Amino acid sequence: MAEEAAVRAQAEAVRRLKQDKADPDEIAKEVAKLLEMKAQLGGDEGKQKFVLKTPKGTRDYSPKQMAIRERVFNVIITCFKRHGAEVIDTPVFELKETLTGKYGEDSKLIYDLKDQGGELLSLRYDLTVPFARYLAMNKITNIKRYHIAKVYRRDNPAMTRGRYREFYQCDFDIAGQFDPMIPDAECLKIVHEILRDLQLGDFLIKVNDRRILDGMFAVCGVPDSKFRTICSSVDKLDKMPWEEVRSEMVGEKGLSPEAADRIGEYVQLHGGLDLIERLLQDPKLSQNKLAKEGLGDMKLLFEYLTLFGITGQISFDLSLARGLDYYTGVIFEAVLLQQENDHVEEPVSVGSVAGGGRYDGLVGMFDPKGRKVPCVGVSIGIERIFSILEQRVQASEEKIRTTETQVLVASAQKKLLEERLKLISELWDAGIKDRFPKQATLQPLLRGTRDTMPLPIKSKKNLWSLSRRGE
Amino acid sequence: MAEEAAVRAQAEAVRRLKQDKADPDEIAKEVAKLLEMKAQLGGDEGKQKFVLKTPKGTRDYSPKQMAIRERVFNVIITCFKRHGAEVIDTPVFELKETLTGKYGEDSKLIYDLKDQGGELLSLRYDLTVPFARYLAMNKITNIKRYHIAKVYRRDNPAMTRGRYREFYQCDFDIAGQFDPMIPDAECLKIVHEILRDLQLGDFLIKVNDRRILDGMFAVCGVPDSKFRTICSSVDKLDKMPWEEVRSEMVGEKGLSPEAADRIGEYVQLHGGLDLIERLLQDPKLSQNKLAKEGLGDMKLLFEYLTLFGITGQISFDLSLARGLDYYTGVIFEAVLLQQENDHVEEPVSVGSVAGGGRYDGLVGMFDPKGRKVPCVGVSIGIERIFSILEQRVQASEEKIRTTETQVLVASAQKKLLEERLKLISELWDAGIKDRFPKQATLQPLLRGTRDTMPLPIKSKKNLWSLSRRGE
């Protein structure tokens, strides 16, 4: 292997240069050469090539992207605070067993840390399970909190559509005993406020209840043992046509065709208070205890949403199932709508941007005595929203400011450096945001060209706001 | 094993309850019982007991702690922005090889992720290496950026002293070609501003230069091959007396006693411009190219710091060495001082709260062609600062507000619920921060006791700010 010998020779050359304390520039050059040679060899030795990249499914945020991200966070945090929420933070990893048994089939997507001695750890998969762990650990039975942090899923990324392996969740949850459906209604109001304030266009919030789903399965003749797996099939209705979902139920999951057809009739229903009233009169469903409870609460919820004036964007939708195991009551999901070619037809969904629901059993799973704390919460999916806004900013050629510089201290002569440093230091100490020009922009100053003079004040708001050509 | 049989029986009971769709309350109770039994058995099966805790060396932040944390961040971010910095973000993990060979001996403290197929990943150890990777990857040669994020080190935690395995770093770095020592002086100005604004008491910023250290080692007769290891010994001078450091150099590291004694004379030196001038006249040191360069730049730096008016808190200290491999020029570290019993003696250091330096070679290690981007930066150690402020708040019994609630909507009768919901919804939509009372505080309202009336307005600043007993 001539290449391998060349790499060894180069490595030896680098060692010698380092030993001889050669010019650091020269060493760096030779090291880079060595790295490149190794990278080209890479694959052959079973080693990966050195690639200059972020891990699969992750990305850096540039200053421009951060500026957009901050805008979105600002809208969300303002809303959460408006609703009286406190904020908490938890570690990025949890004991592995804290996450075990909480996510059903999705558990295979959890990132584990290497066993380097000590505890077995996993990166958090969402913010809900750490929140429940926090409540149980601190014996908190009543809190309204928000938490904005990154979560991790070893999923197949689709980054152009805003699907990452590392992504932000913005969670708002209400824990504690309250009058029925009051916190649930507040969560929906929050989703509505945020999507309205972000000005993402038309949206729809679909609402259902796990108890209505379970009751529906029961009256359709689904055996108890198949509730969760049939629920997973229903969950696919936003991506698949009914016929495919039906054949999965009957073919793969062994449900009787009659039961499937009965489900098929229910899951195409969506509406508002009228539909709830109709189902409360449904001869079968109204006989099922769970469904009746769920429908009663759904009616109450819609009454509150009517008081909030937001029912126009809310749809009671029997096809909404949600993936996670831990939901016990109301579930919901918000989708952005896209008018197709301006026709007034059925709007096309471009994907979910928020979701949540009630999980009254999760805290009890952590409490040593199984004490339960009823919870309901919402998670805003920031990455998809961020993708949309980023594309919009790019299309509009809007200029995004990435600094808050107010003053640029410049002079026509280099020897005034000391004066400039003294001046800039005074400005800093007075809390004025300024900036020492980089050498590149200093150059014209030294030549005394017209470019050196600051342009007149641009912003009326801020007397300090100067702007220079090319900035 | 009777206990094991009991656990199996309990597990079976839980399975049966679930199958029978028993009352969820009952299931939760039995599951908790099972978990407790398993936990007690735990150790015997080689399994860990289920413990309700955060991983070793990590912690949750409660709303009160978050309020203090936000205050600290606010001071730091305001300062970074005042200096014209942009902000970036990078993933919490990097390709393992991105971190390889950057941290010297400390590499053993890096958290690796489990190999679950795909890339080998590690949690970031600091924000500097990801920054250098970001610059090389995006071919950026000029940027002033800040980055505030958590980093991970499998160190022995000492949480009461603010040492964690997951902790925040607040980094500010300047990359690019500038007039000599201008960005270096700005970094020191920033540390000074932040420590001043945080009002943590007296502090001292020690400054040195890797080139002065290397020159000093050369003229003291340290062989080239021992520069880094002797540098590590010098780095311990803030924790060990000179005699111990000397015996490590001579005993463990095989340095000649004469060389060690010569080093001993230099490393006790600290001062300002006067000391720099004296060393520039030092017959040996002034003959060494590296030391002369370093001293010349140090002189320039102190001239700038004099213009900034901050030399009173800056000490040129030949004992400062800093641990990390990648520094190439100026290095610095800020310590908080504590007057011992009000004596006017040598102040006692209570530990480092900020550190940084120049690293001109790091970006070149990532660039495929070894192109270098000179960089200098500072990292503020927020956890230690946070511990100090938290203790101070506790001692002062200061009340920390954890919400921004402005209005509490209450009524004396339950049947006004609808009116209250309508009113609160209007307030939310008008951007007023309010809060629906939790049931606990609603109870007295229903009984019409005196407790139900809001107390008079407390804050003069905010007409909306109402307060109720016990809140």
Determine if residue A235 is labeled as part of a ligand binding site. Answer: no
Q: How buried is residue B270: exposed, middle or buried, by Cβ count under 10 Å (0-12/13-18/19+)?
A: middle
Determine if residue A69 is labeled as part of a ligand binding site. Answer: no
Is A468 in the B-facing interface, judged by CB distances under 8 Å? no
- Give the A window 238-277 contacts with B, CB below 8 Å: none
Q: Which of B113, B148, B166, B371 to mutate to test the interface with A (most CBs of A within 10 A)?
A: B113
* Inter-chain contacts counted by CB atoms under 8 A, chains A and B: 285
- Give the B window 384-423 contacts with A, CB below 8 Å: 402-405, 417-418, 421-422
Distance between CA atoms of residues A260 and A222, nearest Å: 8
The strand pairing partners of B158, in sequence order, are B163
The strand pairing partners of A94, in sequence order, are A122
Is A139 in the B-facing interface, judged by CB distances under 8 Å? no
**Cβ A383 vs Cβ A167: under 8 Å:** yes
In B57-141, at which residue ranges do the beta strands (DSSP E only) sit?
A: 86-87, 93-95, 121-123
The residue behind tokens 């009952």 is B26
Q: What are the pLDDT tens digits along chain B (471 aa)?
A: 566 777 778 888 888 887 787 777 777 778 777 877 776 665 444 333 568 999 999 999 999 999 999 999 999 999 999 999 999 999 999 999 999 888 877 888 999 999 998 899 999 999 999 999 999 999 999 999 999 999 999 988 777 777 899 999 999 999 999 999 999 999 999 999 999 999 989 999 999 999 999 999 999 999 999 988 899 899 888 888 999 999 999 999 999 999 999 999 999 999 999 999 999 999 999 999 999 999 999 999 999 999 999 999 999 999 999 877 789 999 999 999 875 544 444 545 567 899 999 999 999 999 988 899 999 999 999 888 998 888 888 888 778 888 887 778 877 776 788 888 888 888 888 887 766 554 323 222 222 223 333 333 333 332 222 233 333
What is the chain B residue with the closest CA to A367? B32
Determine if residue A40 is labeled as part of a ligand binding site. Answer: no
Q: At what angle do helices B182-198 and A417-429 cross, to 10 degrees?
A: 20
Task: Take residue A361 and report the two structure tokens written for it.
Answer: 């059993």
The values of phi and psi at residue A434, to 5°, are: -135, -170
Give residue B454's identity as a one-letter amino acid code.
Answer: P
Closest CA to A113 of B288, B112, B385: B112
Asked whether the beta carbons of residue B225 and residue A438 sit closer than 8 angstroms, the reply is no
DSSP 3-state of B334: strand
- Give the A window 48-77 contacts with B, CB below 8 Å: 48, 50-56, 58-63, 66, 69-70
Closest CA to B168 of B58, B15, B323, B259: B58
DSSP 3-state of A405: coil
CA B172, B380, B67, B152 dihedral sign is positive
Show the 3-state SS of A161-187: HCECCEEEEEEEEEECCCCCCHHHHHH
Q: Which pLDDT score, from 0 to 100, does residue A436 have? A: 59
Determine if residue B339 is labeled as part of a ligand binding site. Answer: no
Distance between CA atoms of residues B378 and B465, nearest Å: 40
Planar angle of CA B40, B43, B48, nearest 5 degrees: 90
What is the chain B residue with the closest CA to A65? B88
H-run or E-run covering B351: strand B348-358
Asked whether the beta carbons of residue B368 and residue A52 sit closer than 8 angstroms, the reply is yes
The residue behind tokens 């109301």 is A330
Asked whether the beta carbons of residue B84 and residue A433 sit closer than 8 angstroms, the reply is yes
Residue from the list A166, A178, A433 with its beta carbon closest to the beta carbon of B439: A178
Asked whether the beta carbons of residue A82 and residue B32 sit closer than 8 angstroms, the reply is no
Distance between CA atoms of residues A371 and B177, nearest Å: 61
H-run or E-run covering A408: strand A407-408
Q: Which pLDDT score, from 0 to 100, does residue A48 have? A: 39
What dihedral do alpha carbons A266, A268, A274, A280 form, nearest 10°? 10
Our CA-based measurement puts residue A423 at a distance from the nearest CA of chain B, in whole angstroms, of 9
Determine if residue B173 is labeled as part of a ligand binding site. Answer: yes
H-run or E-run covering A417: helix A417-429
Q: Which pLDDT score, from 0 to 100, does residue B420 have? A: 86
Is A282 in the B-facing interface, judged by CB distances under 8 Å? no
The strand pairing partners of A207, in sequence order, are A316, A332
Asked whether the beta carbons of residue B84 and residue A328 sit closer than 8 angstroms, the reply is no
Judging contacts by C-beta atoms under 8 Å, the chain A residues touching residue B307 are 418, 421-422, 425
Q: Which pLDDT score, from 0 to 100, does residue A39 have? A: 61
Our CA-based measurement puts residue A115 at a distance from the nearest CA of chain B, in whole angstroms, of 7
ipTM of the complex: 0.79
Asked whether the beta carbons of residue B112 and residue A114 sit closer than 8 angstroms, the reply is yes
Distance between CA atoms of residues A313 and A304, nearest Å: 14
**Cβ A331 vs Cβ A223: under 8 Å:** no
Asked whether the beta carbons of residue A111 and residue B112 sit closer than 8 angstroms, the reply is no
Our CA-based measurement puts residue B59 at a distance from the nearest CA of chain A, in whole angstroms, of 6
What is the chain A residue with the closest CA to B414? A179
Distance between CA atoms of residues A141 and A138, nearest Å: 9
Asked whether the beta carbons of residue B193 and residue A95 sit closer than 8 angstroms, the reply is no
Mean pLDDT of chain A: 84
Q: pLDDT digit string (tens) for A446-455? A: 222 233 333 3
Cα atoms in the 13 Å half-sphere on the side-chain side of B348: 7
Judging contacts by C-beta atoms under 8 Å, the chain B residues touching residue A84 are 403-405, 433-436
